[in-house]
Structure 1
Amino acid sequence: MRTMPQTSSSGQPLTGVGQGARTRAEQLAAALDERIRARRLAPGDPVGTLESLRAETGLAYATVSEAVRLLRDRGVLEIRPGRGGGLFVADRGPVVRLRHTLLSVAEEPGTVADAIELRDHLEALIDVGAARHRTADDVTDLRRLLGELRAAPDWDAFMRANWALHERIAAISPNAMARAVYTGTLGHLGAASPHLSDDGGTGDGTAAAGYRAGRYQVHADLVEAIAAGDEAAVRAAVARHNTTT
């Protein structure tokens, strides 16, 4: 892994990365937030892309993605998919306030179960919306993320790839309010996932491998249904997804 450069391609330092006890993702998020404030970027101004930040910093794709997710959840960044998309300074409007409300209850008892129930109710709305509005670039991204899900070396990596795939599907849906609630639940579930055992909670490695294979196939079916714009197939995949979580 290359060392984080001292300045960005625009000449604005990414300070604080590589120092202190925070994770690399937290350090990068803080540095990006500082850059946005130092340059006085306005809502809608471009910040870059995941690939440009990865190339600039030399950090792993998962680290850059986590830093971007942290800033999105804090209402700093907006992720726009597809051609001409990327990372933009967020407009801190009612959708951001809604996401902050979801994050504020993250530590209350029972919120993992609550988040799963809420996500399951929104899954069909989000995924059917994606099937109606997907572009060729969207489909390419979904299949790439699906490949990362299949190649995940362990349970934690599998879950991170799972959340990344669902976040990308949600980004296609035009319903901004549903996206905010849905991705808010994913953020909470993603934060909880490292507490799961490497066997996926099944008790042994063999069972875990079978469980992961089954979960991968459900997601593969969902992606292909979205790619085909087949709403009936999307709903069938969602039903399987929600009953085997």
Structure 2
Amino acid sequence: MPETGPAPLPDPDTAPRSGRRSRPLRVAEAIKSWVVERNMRRGDRLPGEAELMARFAMAKGTIREAMRILEAQGLIETRTGPGGGSFVGEVTADRAKALLANYFYFKDLSVADIYQLRRALEPELAAALAGKLDADQIAALEGIVARYPRPAESAEEERDQHVASLAFHRKLAEFSGNPLLGFVVDFMASILADLTVYRRLYDPPNRALYDRGRASQLALIAALREGRAEEARAIMRGHMEGAEALMQAQEAQVMRRFIAE
């Protein structure tokens, strides 16, 4: 059915979570709504500039700025040459995590903040995966643990082991059949890895954290392989609780050193 008028723009005075917004931002939101209403998918072609100007009753400069906003967000892709134009894009998981990390950079996250969420989600993820992983997936988890067969002997080695250990949890998230759960768990592991490096939570090396963490991961792999869901949940819960306590102690030690300096 043909559309006879321009799509209405969101009212900046009633739009939630913001005050007045610029006209290009309002047009960008209207274009996104228009795409969603038509159930458009990645790769679908968007109307040309002239049609967008007519559809949204806006000048060329406003439309171009709105399209630049959407392109910066990863929501549209522009191609040149024959067959070129603007197409619906898709925000990648890596881009979404990078944007979220930038947001939380200014929130002064603590180890306790991160583990509060990890304690709630990761035991359930482990239980859900018990008995569901194939031989290649189990081997991938074992391969990660094999990266740190012995305790670190330097701060730099400890840092690398911390990051590798968190890769174990990111791999579990990858295996999740729930894209939202998988994304959140992966993001938490990613931001904890960044926090560990930025705040030097790996210095000095923490033997207790290594021993407990590696033992928990090996026990968890066995429970996952054999389909013991309740045991997998309990192992992950204990791992989260123990790791949080040890990481908080490490964080406190780093802060004492910082104050002393």
TM-score class, shorter: 0.5 to 0.7
Within-5 A mapping of 1:206-225: 208-225=206-223
Q: CA RMSD in A?
A: 3.2
Deviation digits for residues 187-220 of structure 1 (CA, Å, limit 9, x no counterpart): 11010112114334xxxxxxx3244112210111
Cα separation, 2, equivalents of 1:100 and 1:129? 29
Counterparts in 2 of 1:152 and 1:118: CA distance versus 1, 3 Å? same
Question: What is the TM-score normalised by the length of structure 1?
Answer: 0.54
Cα separation, 1, equivalents of 2:234 and 2:128? 15
Whether the 8 Å CA contact 1:145–1:161 is kept in 2: the answer is yes
Whether the 8 Å CA contact 2:176–2:182 is kept in 1: the answer is yes
Question: What is the TM-score normalised by the length of structure 2?
Answer: 0.51
Q: Which residue of 2 aligns with 1:57?
A: none
Quote how far apart the aligned CAs of 1:234 are. 0.1
Q: Which residue of 1 aligns with 2:37?
A: none
Moved over 3 A (4+): 93-103
Quote how far apart the aligned CAs of 1:94 are. 9.2
Q: What residue identity is the alignment partner of 2:180? A: M
Where do 5+ consecutive residues of structure 2 fail to align?
Answer: 1-40, 44-72, 75-88, 244-261
Deviation digits for residues 59-117 of structure 1 (CA, Å, limit 9, x no counterpart): xxxxxxxxxxxxxxx98xxxxxxxxxxxxxx9427996577335522331234432221
Cα separation, 2, equivalents of 1:244 and 1:175? 26
Where do 5+ consecutive residues of structure 1 fail to align?
Answer: 1-41, 45-73, 76-89, 201-207
Deviation digits for residues 88-147 of structure 1 (CA, Å, limit 9, x no counterpart): xx9427996577335522331234432221122111122123224311110011111111
Cα separation, 2, equivalents of 1:166 and 1:94? 16
Which one of 199, 204, 212 corresponds to residue 204 of structure 2?
Answer: 199
Q: Which residue of 2 aligns with 1:171?
A: 174
Percent of residue pairs bearing the same amino acid type: 19
Within-5 A mapping of 1:14-33: none
Q: Which residue of 2 aligns with 1:143?
A: 142
Counterparts in 2 of 1:97 and 1:164: CA distance versus 1, 3 Å? closer
Q: Which residue of 2 aligns with 1:187?
A: 190
Max Rg structure: 2
Cα separation, 2, equivalents of 1:99 and 1:228? 36
Cα separation, 2, equivalents of 1:139 and 1:166? 13
